[in-house]
Amino acid sequence: MPGGFVALFIVIVIAGVAVSIANAGKAREIAERTGQDPGRAMWRMFSAKDPQSELRHMEAEADLTEQNRRLAAAQRETNERLRRAEQAAQAAPKASAIQPAADKPADERPAAERLQELQDLYTKGLVNEDEFSEKRREILGDV
């Protein structure tokens, strides 16, 4: 009977060592993937009270590190696109944003429809009273 307990004890010790080796391998893989020191990661795992919990924590840290890398790369790309757009805007000839009234195409809609649209814009507060009056006179002048 004592031999059975010894054999059981040896099996438990071997299983514990196997789990520890597997955990160490996972810790090393996580550390290498995130650019950390593998030795420090394995030490962190071995010195933890709950190695499985520590491995989950290391995985979460690795995921955050990867997300931060992707965000930083996206930010660099956005900054580069913005810089190119600013350069293109500075290099482009300065065109007048306001066309003379003669160049604007005439609005072919009926005056009543245009006046109703203008009234809606005024009611919503999108045009002030002066703009409303000026555009109203313009529409009525076209009639």
Q: In tens digits, what is the pLDDT along the chain, a chain of 143 residues?
A: 577 888 888 999 999 888 888 888 888 888 888 888 888 888 888 888 888 888 888 889 888 988 998 999 999 999 999 898 888 888 876 654 444 455 555 677 888 899 999 999 999 988 899 999 999 988 888 76
Chain centroid offset of residue 67 CA: 10
Q: What is the pLDDT of residue 32?
A: 87
Tokens 């429809």, located at residue: 113
Q: CA 35 to CA 23: how far, in whole Å?
A: 18
DSSP string, 44-93: HHHTSSSHHHHHHHHHHHHHHHHHHHHHHHHHHHHHHHHHHHHHHHHHS-
Q: What is the pLDDT of residue 19?
A: 84
Q: What is the pLDDT of residue 14?
A: 92
Which amino acid, 70? R
Kindly report the pTM of this predicted structure: 0.44
Q: Report the alpha-carbon angle 37-39-41, nearest 5.
A: 70
